[in-house]
Amino acid sequence: MACCDDFPTARRAIPISFGPVMEEVLPPQTMSGAGFEPTRIRQFTIFLENKVGRLQQLVRRAFYILSFLAIPIGVGGILLRRDIILLISSDQFVAAAVPFAILVLGAGFSYLNAAFGFASVAVNKQSRLLKISIITLVLNILINLFTIPHFGVAGAATATLITELVACIGVYMVFSRQTGITVQFWPLWKITAAGLAMIPAAWAVGLMHLGLVLHFLLTGAVVAAVYLVLVLVLGALPPDFKPLVNRLLGRK
C-alpha cells in the first residue's frame, strides 16, 4: 500500500475503517479533506498500514490455530461418536451417534467462522455480516423443512452443518472484501493429512475388540498421538504450541 499525496486517495487506499483513530491522528480540517498536510497524510497512511499488517497477522494466526484444533476434534468426534454416546447415556440413544458426528463436523466450521467474525467486529464491520446471517437463517429453515421429514434428527444436524459451512465461507468473503485481508488455505493440507491418518489408527485399535471405556481411552490416545506426530514431522505445528510440545518432550 503506497503512501498517498492527498487525503481522499489515502482514505480510499485504507480498506479498514479506523474512524476514531483518524480523528485522533489528523485534525478536523484534514478529516473534511481541506487544509491537509502531505507529511501528516503520509504518517497517517503508514500508521494504518502497520495496523492493517498487525490485524492480518492476528487473523491468520487465529485461523491456523483454530484449524489445527478443529481438524482433530472433528475427526476424533466422528471416530469416537458411538463410544461417546454410550458413555454418557445408554444403548437406547446409540442412534444419536450419527447426528452427533455431523454436528461435530459442523462445529469445525463454526470455529473458523469465529476468527473472521470477531475480527470484523474489531474493525467495526459487523453490520456487513447481517446479510450473511439472514441468508443462513433462511437456508437453515429451508433445509430443515426438507431433511427433517426424511431423515429426522440427522437431517436437522445436516442442515446445521450446511449452514455453518455457508456462513463460514460468506463471513470470510465479506471480511476479506471489506478489509483486504486474506488467509492462505494451501498450508492446511498438512494438518488435513495428519487428521485423515487418524482414521486407520482408530480402525487398528478397533480390531483389538476392547471394552467400551478402554476402547475409548486407547483410541483417543492413539489418534491424538498419530495426529501430533505427523504434524511435527510435516512441520505444521503452529508456533503458539511449540513451547508446550517442547515441555512435553522434555526439551528446553
CA–CA separation, 75 and 69 (whole Å): 10
128 and 142 share one domain: yes
40 and 119 share one domain: yes
- Domain end point (choices 135, 164, 185): 185
111 and 165 share one domain: yes
- pLDDT in the model for residue 243: 78
- pLDDT in the model for residue 234: 92
> Structural domain tally of the chain?
2
- pLDDT in the model for residue 14: 47
- pLDDT in the model for residue 199: 96
163 and 39 share one domain: yes
- Domain end point (choices 151, 185, 219): 185
143 and 218 share one domain: no
Mean pLDDT, consecutive 10-residue stretches, the chain (252 aa), reads 44 45 46 53 57 80 91 94 93 92 92 86 78 92 94 94 94 87 88 96 94 95 95 89 74 63
CA–CA separation, 147 and 99 (whole Å): 12
CA–CA separation, 227 and 225 (whole Å): 5
- pLDDT in the model for residue 195: 95
201 and 140 share one domain: no
- Domain end point (choices 168, 185, 202): 185
Q: Does any domain span residue 125?
A: yes
Contacts (Cβ under 8 Å, ≥6 apart) of 3: 10, 41, 42, 45, 46
- HSE of 223 in the Cβ direction (CA atoms, 13 Å)? 29
226 and 143 share one domain: no
Query: Residue 108, class by beta-carbon neighbours within 10 Å (0-12 exposed, 13-18 middle, 19+ buried)?
Result: buried
pTM of this prediction exceeds 0.85: no
Q: Give the domain extent around 197.
A: 186-252
CA–CA separation, 10 and 123 (whole Å): 18
- pLDDT in the model for residue 42: 61
Q: Does any domain span residue 236?
A: yes
- HSE of 203 in the Cβ direction (CA atoms, 13 Å)? 5
Q: Does any domain span residue 2?
A: no
The C-alpha cell of 141 is what? 429453515
CA–CA separation, 99 and 158 (whole Å): 8
Q: Does any domain span residue 1?
A: no
Q: Does any domain span residue 219?
A: yes
